[in-house]
Amino acid sequence: MHRGEIDGRWWTIPGEAIYTAQAKNHVTHRVYLTDTALELIGDTTGKGYIFPCPHGAKQQPIDTRALAHAVRRNLRWPVLHKGKLMAKCKIGLEHRDRVLNHKKEKLDGTYNQHDFDDEKQAALETIERKIKSIISGKENNVIPIAAGRKAA
């Protein structure tokens, strides 16, 4: 993650490599940054990587596998797969796919030009609440994504 990819509450992962990272399917992808994400990221102004490699003098990002390795080594709770966690939080399949930047079917990719930013934001805020509830030990107090919405 490079500071140049962050604009307010949104991180835009480029479709083609700019700094060194790129979206997994080469399609530019916007990720909503929750309050917790912004707190962990810290200062987003200026230049450089948010998580720079601690080795060597050359400014480069931390290895893509380093964070996952550190989490597995130090986490007391089992790591939940993102897709399964979102399903458990009652986030619909289409919105899960949009959050995870899954490739759309050709017809949908051609005709559906909606950016799904509102839906991605709601999904990521729901996941944030779920993770905070797990950490705090109050897992049953999560408000699902559909809470407060009226039935159609």
Per-residue pLDDT reduced to its tens digit, 102-137? 877 766 656 766 788 999 999 999 999 988 888 887
- pLDDT range class, residue 143, cuts 50, 70, 90: low
Exposed e or buried b per residue across 4-32, where buried means at least 16 C-beta atoms within 10 angstroms of its C-beta: ebbeeeebebbeeeebeebbeeebebbbb
Q: 96 with 86: CB under 8 angstroms?
A: yes
Q: What's the pLDDT score for residue 91?
A: 92
Residue type, 21: A
Domain ranges of the chain: 1-75, 79-144
Q: How many CB atoms lie within 10 A of CB 38?
A: 13
Q: Mean pLDDT in the chain?
A: 79
Per-residue pLDDT reduced to its tens digit, 69-101? 776 776 655 555 666 888 888 999 889 988 988
Per-residue pLDDT reduced to its tens digit, 31-77? 999 999 999 999 988 888 888 877 766 677 777 677 677 767 766 55
**DSSP H helical ranges for 19-116:** 35-41, 66-74, 82-88, 93-99, 106-111
